[in-house]
Amino acid sequence: MRIVIAGGHGQIAQRLERLLSAGGHEVAGVIRDPEQADALRAAGAEPVVLDLESATVEMTAAVLQGADVAVFAAGAGPGSGVERKDTVDRGAAVLFADAAERAGVRRYIVVSSMGADADHPGDEVFDAYLRAKGAADDDVRARSGLDWTILKPGMLTNDAGTGLVRLEASTGRGPVPRDDVAAVLAELAETPATAGLTLELVSGSVPVSVAVKAVAGE
């Protein structure tokens, strides 16, 4: 398959690129900074330079042309303010979804966050982040033109992945290594029967492939 990942230089995205390319897939990563291109090539992905905060739907759809799966893994990142939580974490996710529909890419996977909720209260930057992610999730879920899956990981760590997770509609809070998040995303990309599901992910005791098959009803 050809899989295009928004936020291609992110920590989870680079792990995912390595897994997908090792699995024989053709992978492209959308990045804003051309200086990140070498890191993507090292991960086995084709770098595509496009700023999703300023790009049009047409420009973004051109990048998605011919893709089988679109993965939204972009984020404004730590240190960004409230405004960029809205333009990236919400706005870019909606743009990428619009572009996927325009390009005829039905399979759309979103890396969201546990606690994401458009009505989340609070005045802190993290509260704005959870509202932005929640609003993006709501927008994607409302689209009949996409076979979407929304993944909400718990607290992300850089611990080595164990390959053992808990993946359910509701898991309760907990940590999860980025390695295991990437492994679940790779499995979701290959499991179209997970379309229409919003899933929470934390570390657990079930092997990744078994956990994904279980939620897919396979």
Residues with catalytic function? 129
Give the Cα separation of 191 and 88 in Å (integer): 27
Q: Tell me whether strands 147-153 and 107-111 are parallel, antiparallel or unpaired.
A: parallel
Q: If phi over 0 gives left and psi between -120 and 50 gives alpha, with beta otherwise, what is residue 104?
A: left
Kindly list the distances between the CA atom of residue 212 and the CA atoms of 23, 77, 146, 162, in Å, as whole numbers in the listed order. 17, 27, 19, 15
For residues 16 and 185, the answer to whether their CB atoms sit within 8 Å is yes
For residues 147 and 196, the answer to whether their CB atoms sit within 8 Å is yes
Angle, vertex CA 69, rays to CA 65 and CA 74, nearest 5:
95
Q: For residue 84, what is the enclosing H or E element?
A: helix 82-84
User: Tokens 């897939």 correspond to what residue?
Assistant: 25
* C-alpha torsion sign, points 49, 132, 61, 11: positive
